[in-house]
Amino acid sequence: MGVNSVTLVGRAGRDPDVRYFESGTVVANLTLAVNRRSRSDEPDWFNLEIWGKQAQVAADFVKKGSLIGVVGSFKLDRWKDRSTGEDRTKPVVRVERLELLGSKRDGDSGSFSSDSNNNEIPF
């Protein structure tokens, strides 16, 4: 039996890079900075990959600095470098669930609000 589950809470390191495909599929890629317990330590950085409706939510509401929570799985992207021919890898968290955790004060204009205290996206 194997378990591959990642849960993170942190701040978006940049605005999402969003791509739309002819099939209608959407993918959003961004980085997430997660602070360590000690304020003197540098944050850990994670590459996030979000697909479908959750990607559209990220595109519409997540901006650099937004506080978000994600649940997903770890994967290793592999490819050959076009210029050198070397094998390359990049660790990525494939997000299955995205939660917007910040308040209006955290965002530049507070473009997302909810009538309840729970900002979980119902997808």
Residue 47 lies in a domain: yes
Backbone torsions φ then ψ of 65, nearest 5 degrees: 95, -10
Residue 83 lies in a domain: no
What pLDDT, on a 0 to 100 scale, did the predictor assign at position 39?
80
Which of 33-42, 50-59, 62-71 shows the lowest per-residue confidence on average (mean pLDDT)? 33-42
Residue 38 lies in a domain: yes
Residue 32 lies in a domain: yes
| Total domains, the chain | 1
Which structural domain range is residue 73 located in? 6-77+89-98
Residue 25 lies in a domain: yes
Strands in 52-105 per DSSP E: 67-80, 87-100
pTM score:
0.78
Interatomic CA distance for residues 54 and 60, integer angstroms: 10
Residue 59 lies in a domain: yes
Average pLDDT on 25-46 reads: 92
Any idea what the CATH number is for the domain that residue 94 is in? 2.40.50.140
* pLDDT exceeds 70 at position 106: no
What are the tens digits of pLDDT across the range 78-100? 999 999 989 999 999 999 999 99
* pLDDT exceeds 50 at position 51: yes
